[in-house]
Each structure stands twice: as structure tokens, then as C-alpha cells.
Chain A
Amino acid sequence: MLDAQGTAAAPLVQVSNLKMYFPIYTGLLRRHTGDVKAVDDVSFTIRAGETLGLVGESGCGKSTVGRAILRLYEPTAGRVVIDGDDIPALAPEALRKKRPVMQMVFQDPQASLNPRMTVADIIGEPLDEHTNLTGQEKLARIYELMDQVGLNRAFANRYPFAFSGGQRQRIGIARALALNPRFIVCDEPIAALDVSIQAQVVNLLEDLQDRLGLTYLFISHDLSMVRHIADRVAVMYLGQIAEISPRDDLYANPLHPYAEALLSAVPEPDPNGAARQRIILKGDVPSPANPPKGCNFCTRCPKVMPVCREIEPKLAEAAPGRMVACHLINPIPSTG
């Protein structure tokens, strides 16, 4: 596969036509009457060592993508090839063997750490599950992981409540690193942290990536932070990808009208930047159980055309390395 620079780099993660529908049952007989199309036909690749940012507003399906590709949900359809294996097709035991390669850091370190387990137990649990280390080897590995994420070894026997939010997130990161993964899904890892602590955690994630050659899917609604950490960025809206572009291209010149509006809505800490043109979108995001006909952004798009209400735009290359799903950017070739 050729990337934007024309250099060959094998993708570590290849997601094709991923769909994740949650069925809706109604009535006395609980009949299947519809689906919440949380993720609807999403495709992207992540090269080894790369960070792909996945941004969008709440309910757009970005976290569901993260969970579905690690098969924390059973995807409705699609292929997810991680390091050579099609994850949705793996048998249970093969999937278990595959787990060490792919790990996850969750948003809320309060909810994702068992309050009755010590830090050493939490970080050591994946080692118990997937390795045959002796007690001493295991403890050595736990200390090594604590050093790596900047936690004091002396705190190994403390419980999560004794730690601050930023430190708890470090525990979650150490647990994700325990089995030497190649790919980590970071699902809003800094959203629950204070501004002054966010930078500490992001710097740690970047250091670990450099040192261990990790590949990240970084899911976030914080567009400024994604600009900092990601190499490429995918913008999701209502279960679909609106645009995937290299970071600098997207932030300098967003092509999809939604990406443009989203970027313009971010408040910047600069009182003199008020002159910047702000696009205020009208209305709310439609329900994913009943998405509009045609382009799913057509109800709010400031540049909507008649064709947008009829035909769903496909994600297609709009410029080298840039994929956009928009009729304005990729006009339908006239058939007449």
C-alpha cells in the first residue's frame, strides 16, 4: 500500500466496511423493528508506528469503532485485519491468543480499575492470564511497567482510590502495556483529566510510542489535542467517516463541510482570534436509528445540494492521501 508520501508501509490495522448495528426490539413480542446504526460501513487503515486520530461528537460512533475492532462488541459485518488476522472471524481460543497484540486504554480510570485490587494486581492480571511467569518474574515485570509509566514502585500495594486521576490513567496504561502490545486503542484517555494533567498523560503516550514502537488509534473529541498527537485524522459523523486526511492537511484546509464546521467551532484561547470565521451549524445530530436519506450530514450542512438528499456520497480520494465522502468535493460523474 502506498501512503501520501508514496512510501510503502504495511498497514498494521486494516478495517474494511465495518458495521456495528444495535437492534431495536419493540412491542409485546419484542420484534426486531430496526437498528441503531452506530457504525455504518467504516473503512480505514493504520500503519505500524502511526497514530490515527478518530474525532467526532458524542454519539457519532467513534468509541463503538474502537470497541468493535478489538471485538469487545461482535461487529455486525466487516473485516478487521490486525497484524495478519481477521479479528471478527477468529475462533474464541484464537482470539484469546491474539489479545496480547491489541489492548485498550479507557476513558474513565475510576470506572475501568477494580477498586478492590491493588495496583500490582491490576497491572499483573494480564500477565496471569497470558503468561507463565513465576511470581518473582511477574513482580519484576510489574515494577518495570510502573517505572515506564512514571509510577512510584513503593505504591504497588495501594488501591486505586489512593491515586489522583492522572495517576490512575497511568495505571490503566501500564496494564495495557503489560503484554507488549503492538496496537493500543486509546478511547478518550484524557477526557476525564484536568488540563494541567492532560499534557502529562499525552507526553507519556508519545514517549511510550517512540520507545516501544506502538501504533495508536486515538479516539477523542478534543481537536486541539488530536492535532498534537495524531499523524492522520478521521472525522466521523453519525456512524460514518466524513473525511480522513493527514493531520496538517486537515487542520489547514478541511475539505468535508462537517470537518470544516467542527474545526471552526473549537473555542481557541486567543481573544484576538475572534475575527476568525465561525460556522454555526443549525440543529442537532439526527438519530442513528433513523438517519436521513442521502448524505447523513444533509440536514445540517451549510452547503447542501439537491443531490445530497438523494444519493449517499461514498468515501473517495479527493487529493493525494485524502479521502472525503461529499458530493461537493467528489462530484458524481454525469451518466448522460
Chain B
Amino acid sequence: MPDGARPVLDVRGLKTVFRTRGGDVHAVNDVSFSLQKGELLGVVGESGSGKSVTMMSLIGLLPSPPADVCGGTVMLGDTDLLTAPPEELRQIRGARIGFVFQDPMTSLNPVFNVGSQIMEPLREHMGMTKAQAEVRAVELLELVGIPDARRRLKSYPHQFSGGMRQRVMIAIALACDPDVLIADEPTTALDVTIQAQILELVKELRQKLGMAIIWITHDLGVIAGIADRVMVMYGGQVVEQGPVRAVFSAPQHPYTRALLRTIPKLHGPRDARLEAISGQPPILSAPPTSCPFRPRCPHAFDRCAAENPARRAIDGRAIGQGHDVACHWTAPAMQEVAHA
């Protein structure tokens, strides 16, 4: 991925606030990232870290009110999705950006057969006739590995297993050959052996189709196996971002480090005791003025309370292009003090 290449999707300073009767919740705070053609960006974080809200914000899928996407730009090619008129946004969703959600049972319509649900975006966005759409739907089902595709078009969602339903969702998302596929915890509801099948399918599809993918998950194992780059979110912010190997082999942020240590290993030496991260994730009732991880961080010092750290590149490349981290403790000056 050359530094200068123009990204497919470029998100700058995204802010989302939920305005509720109980007060504001600052769910996404100044999130920036970009996605290159053909790249798979993994987004990890716990529930409430803002990873799903970030992606829902940029494609305008959050109900407003209460959601208020109040800052930033989201450039898909030359279009700013945040200022695009609703009709244009509707054309982009499904055609240029595809989605796969966590639970395939609730995202498929139970009263229509899957064939009509795959054909809907084809007729809506690509202007295909019914006959053309049907041919393409069969191709798509075959592409995602559903056997006996022509007959299965007439089947209803409840007649598929969980893994097969998720394949149908992927087929719908890919129907219009999107530039970007956003997958929000697509394998979380599936068993590990079925998850392995879906991960294998996605690897295959990337090679065949070359679209860029954003893969949201809380499972670092899935990210390690599938992503090119990883973005770690905590408290509505990006705390660390970088190539997947760099982040896993040399995690910078204390949260990333703790997260990697707290997961028990399947191979190698077995820890007598798990390293727990004490405390709770933050409640985001005000815009952050200090580091969101500070109350749980073993390295926190006075500056962490005084100032929310900005993202800082650690390998000399532009922020978002190489490996960057938002942490005062890992600043070079601090490390010299620590090692002196």
C-alpha cells in the first residue's frame, strides 16, 4: 500500500453524539481513518467502544434523533457522505457500500424468499430486469458457496442454517459489486467451525473481487487471521492503529497490550493466572478532556488526566498510514525517563 495512493474511503474527525433525555453520550470522538483499495481494515474494541456507531454514522444508518453526527468528513471517492442528500446516500448504500450485520436472522426479511432479497438491490441499483437479476442471484449464491443455488432462491431465511444465512447476507452485500464492504461482527453469532468456513470464504472473495473491507469485531483472533491493518478503539476514540503484524507483535497502547495479554492462549505455555484489566469502560457523558483509558491504565500519570492524547506516528509515516498510537506514556520523552 503506497503512502500516496488515493484511499477508497477517507474519514476525518468523525464525531457522533447521542442526544438522549438522560443527557448526551459522546459515542464517537474525532475518529479518522482511511481505507485503500482491496484492503481489509480490522476494527476492534469492546461493547461501547464506538466501533459499530462509527461505521453506522458514516453511512447514515443511525436514527436521528437521538443520533447527531456533528462533525467530520467521510469521503467516498469525491462524495462527502455526511453532506450528500438522502436520495444520493440511498443510491450509495447497497450499490457502492455493502453491509453484513451480526445476526443474519434479524437482517433478512422472514416473509420473502432469499432470491427476491438478493434480486432487490440488483433491480433497484443496477436497473436489471427480473430475468437478468435472477441469473445474477444464482451466480452470487454460487460465489458464496451455497449448493444447489437455483433451487435455493425459492427458500426462505428460516430454511437456512446460521452459517448459510450469513452467506446469503454476504451475497446480498456483494450484489452490486461495492467498492467497500462493511462487516459488523459478521461471525460473532456463529460457531467456531462455521466461523472458520466464513473466514475462508471472505479470503477467497477478496482475491476474486478485490473490494476493500472494514471488519468490526471484538475477537482479536479473527483480526489476526484476516486483516491487513487493525484499528483499536476505546471510549469512542482510536487508541492505536497500524499494520496487523506490527500491532500484534509490538503493541504500543497500554490498552492494546493488556487486551492481548488478557486472552488465554490455545497453544504454548499456560498462564497460572489471567491478567485482568481492572475497572470498567468509561461512560461518555462529556467530550473527553483526559485519556479515556486513564482510570484503568497501570501507567497513568498527571499528564493523562490533564490532556487527551492525540494520535502520534511511531514509524515516521503519516497518521493512519503506518503505526500510530494515542498515548502520553509511550511518547519518546517518557520512555527515556522510564528506562533511565
Q: A-side interface residues toward B, CB under 8 Å? A: 57-58, 164, 166, 194-200, 202-203, 206, 221, 223-225, 227-228, 251, 261-274, 278, 280-281, 284-285
Contact = CB atoms under 8 A, between A and B. Distances in A.
Contacts of A266: 192, 221, 266
Contacts of B278: 200
Nearest to B200: A280
A228 B163 CA distance: 28
A274 B46 CA distance: 24
A199 B244 contact: no
B274 to A, nearest CB: 4
A262 B193 contact: yes
Interface stretch (B78-86, B116-124, B257-265, B304-312): B257-265
A199 B262 contact: yes
Contact of B218 (A57, A195, A227): A195
Contacts of A206: 273
A278 B273 CA distance: 28
A199 B224 contact: no
Given A196-B46, A268-B267, A203 B274 contact: yes
B131 interface: no
Contact of B248 (A202, A270, A280): A270
A270 B249 CA distance: 8
Nearest to B262: A199
A58 B196 CA distance: 15
A198 B193 CA distance: 22
B161 interface: yes
A164 B222 CA distance: 26
Of the listed residues A196, A200, A203, A280, the one surrounded by the most CB atoms of chain B closer than 10 A to its CB is A196
A270 B194 contact: no
A196 B221 contact: no
Interface size, B (range): 35 or more
Interface in B270-287: 270-271, 273-278, 280-281
A323 B47 CA distance: 39
Given A224-B263, A227-B266, 17 more contacts: A57-B191, A194-B46, A195-B218, A197-B280, A199-B276, A206-B273, A262-B192, A265-B192, A265-B193, A266-B192, A268-B266, A271-B245, A271-B248, A272-B245, A273-B267, A280-B196, A281-B197
A274 B228 CA distance: 13
Nearest to B163: A284
A194 B281 contact: yes
B220 interface: yes
Ranked 9 nearest A-B pairs via Cβ: A267-B221, A57-B191, A228-B264, A199-B276, A269-B220, A199-B274, A265-B196, A196-B277, A194-B46
Contacts of A199: 262, 274-277
B74 to A, nearest CB: 28
Of the listed residues B46, B191, B266, B270, the one surrounded by the most CB atoms of chain A closer than 10 A to its CB is B266
Contact of B192 (A57, A197, A198, A203): A57
A284 B194 CA distance: 8
A278 B224 contact: no
Contacts of B46: 194-196
B298 interface: no
Interface in B186-213: 191-197, 199-200
B30 interface: no
